[in-house]
Structure 1
């Protein structure tokens, strides 16, 4: 909990005004604009002081037919008196030494399959390696821990439904999401009210990360803003030009989808909390308040677009730096500390799965801990029971979770970029990540009913989409991929399923492209971009009527339809094209635009009326390099469905960007 001395260190300002974003003349100019905008919007935010504690023990429940078991008794947490002048230093946990077996048990080994989130997968892999390196004997058997990872939102649904798509030998024995909030989500999808206690393994604070030059320009590297100030700055179109950096454009705030990642959840809790007047006292009633919903929707307008994992955003930031500056892609992104450490040491991942090591970026990220509090991912470890888990495997799972809290396990936690259960960081991680070791502003995640209410409210408050599905309908789309489907029929099914992500207020359209013998691009726009609330039936009718034909004028289609989307560009929407193609540019019947001219046109649009062109390579013959260059030129993401049977899952992942 923060001491009164820490709270008093922040200068006092008139009620409801807050501290200036920067000092001096630039700060005064920004403050003037902020106050004018405040009056114009008639928005009033009332802040309360935040005093938080780290809650390391996650509540978990029985999920569907599975029972989540308590593994280790959590340490008692003493509650400090409300009016205490200063909170006492917490007593440090003395981690026990690991107690491996003298010799390994007999084979075949009991397998402990651990399902993690993408964010904490490296930590779980390192814990598994450390555990497997010593002899283990559980019930006479040796033990092998095998990690697997999935996006948080997807894994919560898998847990809730009992992993129906996995064979028994692939189903997990332990679930280790990066946040206990996903247990609440899984429970809302089918769990009972039983909530035994689980075990936290590590923590990672969720921060606002900015390229260092931008953090210095706004002064947040020296004095952390409140969440209100973050959202106000993000909504100020003139912020960077007012600070002498018009080349940085508008303030681009990156967020992951709260339906997929913990950092996205945390961003939504902060937004609802600021709108309601308190992060700590956020209630279901607040989330249903029309005035709060309106304020949160206004905050979301500053979001460039949503992505499934923090790694997606950070990969694009690194690509932007390589061609100029990371500021071309983002001004700030809400991520966990571990992701900041990864980025600053040169670790990136285009797909969230495969990680690459490069030289550290020139523009390092600076983690900013908002002055009125921030959340921390608590990484709870839970043992699952189900028909696929035998008693020895369950006992082995308990032994692995015991290991995570030993001196050796906590050493692996710190080496993986996390805070251990004493909130201590590895010195090298702290230095490279520019992390603040002594931060004490963590506030607890909201109650389970608030977690699920925020998830339910997201479709209403998120930034609306203006998106065109652009489908390759050339002759190659007739290729069979199963006894019952061709590429084209599978694509239609995937687009129809993806359409379920969009709601009233989203403008969605459909176009197809092929080249006819006379050189014309056909069939062209077949369902105009319109509010899907009223256009859904027309869209589905047009989708069902598509047939394959002709050659592949890929460059011409991308150039023409992106320009059409740019002509209808709106700052209040995520303006995008979703391109699905199974081949290379092939337009023999009439000359079309070349690849370089197409990319140059896309880059020019990106600086004025930016349209994100998300590209999806469909089938083994897709021109992956060209599709990647198209998405990169527009600040969007490339998706891989070169295995055509995975198209529906990949396209479902893609539309979380909206």
Structure 2
């Protein structure tokens, strides 16, 4: 990630790391393998949208009151579909929007019930909205694109290939500008205006929850945020008045999240019906949804008073899977701002064997998906206009290796990345902070020479720092702030407290590579690049 102001280290933070303080932040998108539903007496398993993690307690409580033992797992919309299509067993799914799963599930759901909903909004600081006149009259998408392209609007939005909010916003812009909804084609998209809109994006993310947390940590970095209105209103409760966001609904339409519970196994119809009755019941819809600023579907229950009541034009997803795929693919390769992804990779002796092989395989997966790969795998591969930098380190830091995915040499770049992965050998000590210093200095230069880029650092290490710069020296070197966000991967015997603090101090997020396949972790990180 680039273009966000540098974050300062908290006083004494890295000194505390040297003492080995423990602690990890919460994760927005847990991706652990789901349990198998093997018998009617087993827990009712649901794979839900990751932003519903905050609603887990009341969902489980209402299910228990209805006599159903509920087991929730979480994933993004694309991953929900792909995990089910790959054979993972769930009784039901609860995605934020049912349109894409209805098209993409290999075996259609046998029942579908809308439980609640949340509009997707452009949350804008009140002062900015007033200057643009949007507090008096809602803008259209062309107005928003114009403000973005002229530098008047800096906003954050999730990656459209990783998160429902970004995908919904992308298709809302495309549909509104084309004057079409369900019959939209890739040729209908107003590419110039869409690119103008995306030029104002200064912060990207793989989840709506993390995007909100990033704004909370540094409200000065952006003026606005595309997110669920529920997330925006919950965030406002934690913000000072000057930084609160006014939900704005473009007058030519938005796409709402309709949260359908979609039954996958007919044999589980009875507990499914009990869950639907409990979650659509007046008690749950009045109490749990009001506290979370979600809109009820039960006509007997009024929405939370803080939710805007004005009518909003509703748009919908395209009704053809090939159109969705074509638009998302073009978004990645041509429309969105390009990125420079810096990978700081531990090649110390402890990485020998399976750990090194896992890292090689993860890099090869990102080099370019094979034909027939799942959509999220293809979208997570490095795209046209991207720059990838490899900084291997052991006792010493190796010279950075650049792999440029230029439009005319994509194939050559893929082969080069695979060759670099195969050539990696593990031996020596662990100079984590010296390697990070090289990466941060490189990130600063990249931002200076090409400010219209997202720049981020991924750190993979399985051990303790025992060579080169120590934490205090690294802290002193960047006392005025870190140039780029760091996304550390918890791996092997690496110091979890240090990884957490590096993520927090840089405005990044840590990922857990100790219980997941490393290739899956790398794929998840791509939503933040």
| TM > 0.5 fold call | yes
- How many Å apart are 1:453 and its aligned residue? 4.0
Q: Report if aligned partners of 1:269, 1:279 keep a CA contact under 8 Å in 2.
A: no
Q: Which runs of 5+ in 2 are unaligned?
A: 1-38, 369-380
Within-5 A mapping of 1:40-439: 109=41, 111-123=43-55, 125-134=57-66, 136=67, 143-163=68-88, 171-184=89-102, 186-187=104-105, 190-191=106-107, 198-237=112-151, 239=152, 251-276=153-178, 278=179, 280=181, 283-284=184-185, 287-288=186-187, 292-320=190-218, 326-328=219-221, 330-346=222-238, 363-385=243-265, 391=267, 393-411=268-286, 412-421=288-297, 429-431=304-306, 435-439=307-311
Task: Give me the whole-angstrom Cα distance separating, in 2, the residues matched to 1:177 and 1:419.
Answer: 16
Note the alpha carbon deviations across 1:268-314, whole angstroms, 9 max, x for none: 113323543x2547611xx235x733543343232224322111111
Task: Give me the whole-angstrom Cα distance separating, in 1, the residues matched to 2:144 and 2:124.
Answer: 12
Structure 1 counterpart SS, 2:479 = helix
Note the alpha carbon deviations across 1:182-240, whole angstroms, 9 max, x for none: 314533xx357xx8773211111000113444444444334322211222212223x3x
- How many Å apart are 1:527 and its aligned residue? 4.4
- Alignment match, 1:525: 400
Q: Is 2:400 aligned against 1:498? A: no
Task: Give me the whole-angstrom Cα distance separating, in 1, the residues matched to 2:245 and 2:437.
Answer: 34
Task: Give me the whole-angstrom Cα distance separating, in 2, the residues matched to 1:430 and 1:375.
Answer: 22
Structure 2 counterpart SS, 1:397 = helix
Within-5 A mapping of 1:472-491: 472-478=346-352, 485-491=353-359
Structure 1 counterpart SS, 2:252 = coil
Within-5 A mapping of 1:590-629: 594-600=473-479, 602-603=481-482, 606=483, 611-622=484-495, 624-629=496-501
- How many Å apart are 1:123 and its aligned residue? 4.2
Q: Report if aligned partners of 1:414, 1:425 keep a CA contact under 8 Å in 2.
A: no
Q: Report if aligned partners of 1:270, 1:279 keep a CA contact under 8 Å in 2.
A: no
- How many Å apart are 1:628 and its aligned residue? 3.8
Q: Report if aligned partners of 2:487, 2:510 keep a CA contact under 8 Å in 1.
A: yes
Q: Report if aligned partners of 2:148, 2:198 keep a CA contact under 8 Å in 1.
A: no
Note the alpha carbon deviations across 1:476-512, whole angstroms, 9 max, x for none: 323xxxxxx4322222222222333112322223221
- TM-score (structure 2 length as normaliser): 0.79
Q: Report if aligned partners of 2:115, 2:258 keep a CA contact under 8 Å in 1.
A: yes
- Alignment match, 1:84: none
Equivalent of 2:455, from 575, 578, 583? 575
Q: Which runs of 5+ in 1 are unaligned?
A: 1-106, 137-142, 164-170, 240-250, 321-325, 347-358, 479-484, 516-520
Residues 612 and 301 (structure 1), Cα distance of their counterparts in 2 relative to 1, 3 Å cut: farther
Task: Give me the whole-angstrom Cα distance separating, in 2, the residues matched to 1:598 and 1:628.
Answer: 19
Note the alpha carbon deviations across 1:441-490, whole angstroms, 9 max, x for none: 33334324444443343323332222222212122323xxxxxx432222
Task: Give me the whole-angstrom Cα distance separating, in 2, the residues matched to 1:227 and 1:454.
Answer: 18
Q: Report if aligned partners of 1:375, 1:445 keep a CA contact under 8 Å in 2.
A: yes
Task: Give me the whole-angstrom Cα distance separating, in 1, the residues matched to 2:139 and 2:494.
Answer: 49
Residues 413 and 451 (structure 1), Cα distance of their counterparts in 2 relative to 1, 3 Å cut: farther
- TM-score (structure 1 length as normaliser): 0.65
Note the alpha carbon deviations across 1:375-410, whole angstroms, 9 max, x for none: 21111122112xxx7x3x332223322333333343
Q: Report if aligned partners of 2:111, 2:263 keep a CA contact under 8 Å in 1.
A: no
Task: Give me the whole-angstrom Cα distance separating, in 1, the residues matched to 2:516 and 2:107.
Answer: 31
- The structure with more helix, counted as a fraction of residues: 2
Q: Report if aligned partners of 1:257, 1:265 keep a CA contact under 8 Å in 2.
A: yes
| CA RMSD, 1 decimal | 3.1
Task: Give me the whole-angstrom Cα distance separating, in 1, the residues matched to 2:476 and 2:192.
Answer: 42
Task: Give me the whole-angstrom Cα distance separating, in 1, the residues matched to 2:99 and 2:175.
Answer: 16
- Alignment match, 1:548: 426
Task: Give me the whole-angstrom Cα distance separating, in 2, the residues matched to 1:400 and 1:529.
Answer: 50
Structure 2 counterpart SS, 1:375 = coil
Task: Give me the whole-angstrom Cα distance separating, in 2, the residues matched to 1:108 and 1:282.
Answer: 41
Task: Give me the whole-angstrom Cα distance separating, in 2, the residues matched to 1:203 and 1:344.
Answer: 19
Task: Give me the whole-angstrom Cα distance separating, in 2, the residues matched to 1:424 and 1:221.
Answer: 31
Task: Give me the whole-angstrom Cα distance separating, in 2, the residues matched to 1:224 and 1:465.
Answer: 32
